[in-house]
Amino acid sequence: MKTCRIVGAGDFCTTSLNRNEDSFFIAADKGFKNLTDCGILPDLLVGDFDSLGFVPEFPNILKYPVEKDKTDMQLAVEYALEKDFDLILMYGALGGRLDHSLSNLLLLNYISKQGKKGFIISEDFVVSAITDGELIFSDKAQGVISVFALGEKAEHVTLRGLKYTLDDALLTADSPLGVSNEFLGQKASVSVKNGTLTVLWFGSLDNCLSL
Amino acid sequence: MKTCRIVGAGDFCTTSLNRNEDSFFIAADKGFKNLTDCGILPDLLVGDFDSLGFVPEFPNILKYPVEKDKTDMQLAVEYALEKDFDLILMYGALGGRLDHSLSNLLLLNYISKQGKKGFIISEDFVVSAITDGELIFSDKAQGVISVFALGEKAEHVTLRGLKYTLDDALLTADSPLGVSNEFLGQKASVSVKNGTLTVLWFGSLDNCLSL
């Protein structure tokens, strides 16, 4: 699968990345510092560079004005979608300013609605969004998993193999019905038939079998 | 205005609360520790007490089973709505686990759709949700303000007196169009005519004139 890894300025787990991976790396603004701090040079640098504070001398750079409609992470995601990457992994996308974290969660909705797979990887947990689709988890997954409708209503939501199952349920952004579910040490699945569902689980991406 | 203050287990700014305020105080589970740490006893204690780790000896307590559909914060909010409080202020509602933070942001949608005013107060910023309504800010407000549609589409969104204005715009949960706007030191307003809008601004509740 053609994979793009985007690194932002948020909390960043350096151990989860190395340059040997067959990925295209984009640094979004101060994500450049996050990435180079762990010895990796990006393939592309995107942003207005207000948070980094300087424009690096770098051969492959897309520099935008500070006064723009889109966030640096959004510009990086749009680049990845234009170049037809199937899988977009965002790092350093959470844990800083809450508005930036929320903004990055909405980008998962956007990626999913374009028919691509998107994941935010943080130190402790992973977030994804699925549209009219399914995520399947291995029996190695453990701990908490939560599902949210962050957007239009999510219809026909089915949760299997988890502590609390749902069958063909409706989730809306007015109620946190799907928070704090739990893996049971067995194969599990989360699916939605009409709408977009945000799925957050503690652990790693490896426990998700849907890649 | 009949005010209920609910304290949860998240990051908590002790300086923003005192017992002299004319409020009903609810502690949600480990929020009991947050609240008593600053010398305030709640009027009501709500939760399953799994995060606090023990059930306090307390005269006014609503104890729920651990295996329930709703979060402790949600039970406290529902209590406040049943008792017809007009203004619900949530503290310690952000900064812990991201799924809990998201869940509490969705509770703001819920409060707003019930025709009541809800705010999450954290150390640095305030979040609210408005449905078919308006928030007005004084010229003392400064720094960043972001607006999001976390839910169904928000139609006829108008931003005035901010660095980037919007006039009768459509916001959806697929794009973070309203992130990182700025106050300009003048009176400002955020309004939506059809839908619910999440509004997050750095600073205090005092700068919001809509109470």
Token reading at B137: 């800010």
Please provide residue B27's backbone torsions phi and psi, each rounded to the nearest 5 degrees.
-100, 130
Q: Mind telling me how many Å the CA of A77 is from chain B's nearest CA?
A: 11
Q: Does residue B147 contact residue B178 with C-beta atoms inside 8 Å?
A: yes
For the segment B205-210, the average pLDDT, to the nearest whole number, is 92
**Window 125-154 of B, Cβ < 8 Å to A:** 125, 127, 144, 146, 148-153
Task: List, edge to edge, every strand of the sheet that includes B154-160.
Answer: B134-137, B188-191, B154-160, B166-171
| A135 and A103 inside one domain | no
- Whether A28 contacts chain B with CB within 8 A: no
Q: What is the pLDDT of residue A12?
A: 84
Q: Does residue A201 contact residue A125 with C-beta atoms inside 8 Å?
A: yes
| A42 and A119 inside one domain | yes
Pairing outcome for strands B3-7 and B87-91: parallel
For the segment B1-11, the average pLDDT, to the nearest whole number, is 93
Q: What is the CA radius of gyration of chain A?
A: 17
| B41 and B143 inside one domain | no
Q: How many CB contacts within 8 angstroms connect chain A with chain B?
A: 115
Instruction: Tell me which of B123, B151, B175 is where a domain ends.
Output: B123
Residues of chain B with pLDDT > 70, as a percent, come to 98
- Whether B81 contacts chain A with CB within 8 A: no
Q: B147 vs A49, A204, B96, B200, CA distance in Å? A: 23, 31, 22, 6
Q: What is the pLDDT of residue B121?
A: 95
Token reading at A189: 């699945």
- Whether B179 contacts chain A with CB within 8 A: yes
Closest partner residue to A71 among B125, B148, B180, by Cβ?
B180
Which candidate in A51, A90, A106, A162 is best for mutational testing of the B interface (most B CBs within 10 A)?
A106
> Apex CA A119: angle with CA A2 and CA A144, to 5°?
140
Q: What is the pLDDT of residue B123?
A: 87
| A60 and A137 inside one domain | no
**A94 neighbourhood in chain B, CB within 8 Å:** 98
Q: What is the pLDDT of residue B183?
A: 98
Q: What is the pLDDT of residue B22?
A: 77
Q: What is the pLDDT of residue A71?
A: 92
Q: Mind telling me how many Å the CA of A105 is from chain B's nearest CA?
A: 9
Q: What is the pLDDT of residue B96?
A: 85
SS3 label, residue B73: helix
Token reading at A73: 């992470």
pLDDT tens digit at each of 211 positions of chain A: 899 999 999 988 766 787 777 789 999 999 999 999 888 999 999 998 888 888 888 889 999 888 888 999 999 999 999 999 999 999 999 998 899 999 999 999 999 999 999 999 998 899 999 999 999 999 999 999 999 999 999 999 999 999 999 999 999 999 888 999 999 999 999 999 999 999 999 999 999 998 8
| B115 and B200 inside one domain | no
Residue B5, strand partner residues: B25, B89
Range of the structural domain that residue B176 is part of: 130-207
Closest partner residue to A106 among B103, B144, B175, by Cβ?
B175
- Whether A74 contacts chain B with CB within 8 A: yes
**A173 neighbourhood in chain B, CB within 8 Å:** 106, 109, 150-152, 173, 196
For the segment B4-22, the average pLDDT, to the nearest whole number, is 82
CA B138 to CA A84: how far, in whole Å? 46
Three-state SS sequence of chain A = CCEEEEECCCCCCHHHCCCCCCEEEEEECCHHHHHHHCCCCCCEEEECCCCCCCCCCCCCEEECCCCCCCCHHHHHHHHHHHCCCCEEEEECCCCCCHHHHHHHHHHHHHHHHCCCEEEEECCCEEEEEEECCEEEECCCCCCEEEEECCCCCEEEEEEECECCCEEEEEECCCCCCCCCEEECCCCEEEECCECEEEEEEECCHHHECCC
| B186 and B101 inside one domain | no
Does the beta-carbon distance from B150 to A173 stay under 8 Å? yes
Instruction: Tell me which of B63, B98, B123 is where a domain ends.
Output: B123
| B114 and B140 inside one domain | no
Nearest to B120 by CA among B143, B139, B137, B100: B100
Nearest to A125 by CA among B62, B102, B193: B102
Q: Is B40 left (phi over 0), alpha (psi -120 to 50) or beta?
A: beta
- Whether B190 contacts chain A with CB within 8 A: no
For the segment B32-60, the average pLDDT, to the nearest whole number, is 90
Residues of chain B with pLDDT > 90, as a percent, come to 77
Containing B76, the helix (H) or strand (E) segment is helix B72-82
Whichever domain contains A10, its CATH number is: 3.40.50.10240
**A143 neighbourhood in chain B, CB within 8 Å:** none
Q: Mind telling me how many Å the CA of B21 is from chain A's nearest CA?
A: 28
| B115 and B157 inside one domain | no
| CA distance from start to end of chain A | 8
Token reading at B102: 């998201």
| CA distance from start to end of chain B | 8
pLDDT category at B17 given cuts 50, 70, 90 is confident
| B42 and B119 inside one domain | yes
| A169 and A105 inside one domain | no
Count of the separate structural domains present in chain A: 2
Closest partner residue to B94 among A98, A107, A153, by Cβ?
A98
| A94 and A183 inside one domain | no
Locus of tokens 């809990």: B100
**B74 neighbourhood in chain A, CB within 8 Å:** 175-176
Please provide residue A70's backbone torsions phi and psi, each rounded to the nearest 5 degrees.
-110, 150
Rounded to two decimals, the ipTM of the complex is: 0.94
**A74 neighbourhood in chain B, CB within 8 Å:** 175-176
Nearest to B184 by CA among B208, B204, B164: B164
Does the beta-carbon distance from A173 to B144 stay under 8 Å? no
- pLDDT at residue B168 greater than cutoff 90: yes
Pairing outcome for strands B134-137 and B125-131: unpaired
CA A44 to CA A22: how far, in whole Å? 15
| A58 and A28 inside one domain | yes
Token reading at A179: 């928070």
**A176 neighbourhood in chain B, CB within 8 Å:** 71, 74, 102-104, 106-107
